A = this chain, B = another copy of it.
Amino acid sequence: MLIELLRLGHRLPRDERISTHVALVARAFGASAITYTGQHDSGLEESVVRICERWGGKTISGKFSASYEKSAVSFIKSKKRAGFSIVHLTMYGMPLMEKISAIRACEKILIVVGSEQVPPEIYQLADYNISVTNQPHSEVAALAIVLDRLMDGKELKTGSEGFDLDGEISITPSERGKILKERPS
């Protein structure tokens, strides 16, 4: 299953950290790429490149990447033509668990996460408008839960059962300390 992400309406400086969190969750939970619209932000793209250089960015379709697009609508339309199903996360949408089997049957998925105001056209273009609870909380949390359910918790597994992002550095889990392992070059 190929999963990509679209972050709508990135605003500076307001969304700087939230969009970075969205990108890092996408990477750590098994998505292959993030595209964003709104304000262009080379800082966001550089953060993603930096993390991928050190911590790895191997995905099922190449290296994890962040890129900018001007128009969300044209981007979504081009993804639909390329066979992607569009899953828009909104607290007004249908409960995730009612739609998860249908979404899991899709081969290619574009998850769309909004910022403040999402244009009505996005709701129309989406194949699924999905809510992760019908309460106001966080697009970062909603994305994590959706990816977790799509990946069947693979991101929480270790060793050969989990994701191998193929980084230069990695962590050895520990009860109380911080153990960082550098890959011998």
Q: Interface on A for B, CB 8 Å cutoff?
A: 14, 17-18, 21-22, 24-25, 27-29, 51, 55, 91-97, 123-124, 126, 129, 131-138, 140-145, 148, 153, 155-158, 162, 165, 170-171, 173-179
* CB closest chain-B residue, reference A91: B171
Check A174/B141 contact, CB under 8 A, given A17-B14, A133-B29, A156-B133.
no
Copies of this protein in the complex: 2
Is A156 within 8 A of B97, CB to CB? Answer: yes
What are the residues of chain B within 8 A of A22 when measuring CB–CB?
A: 138
What are the residues of chain B within 8 A of A14 when measuring CB–CB?
A: 17
A164 CB → nearest B CB, Å: 11
Check A25/B137 contact, CB under 8 A, given A18-B17, A92-B178, A158-B95.
yes
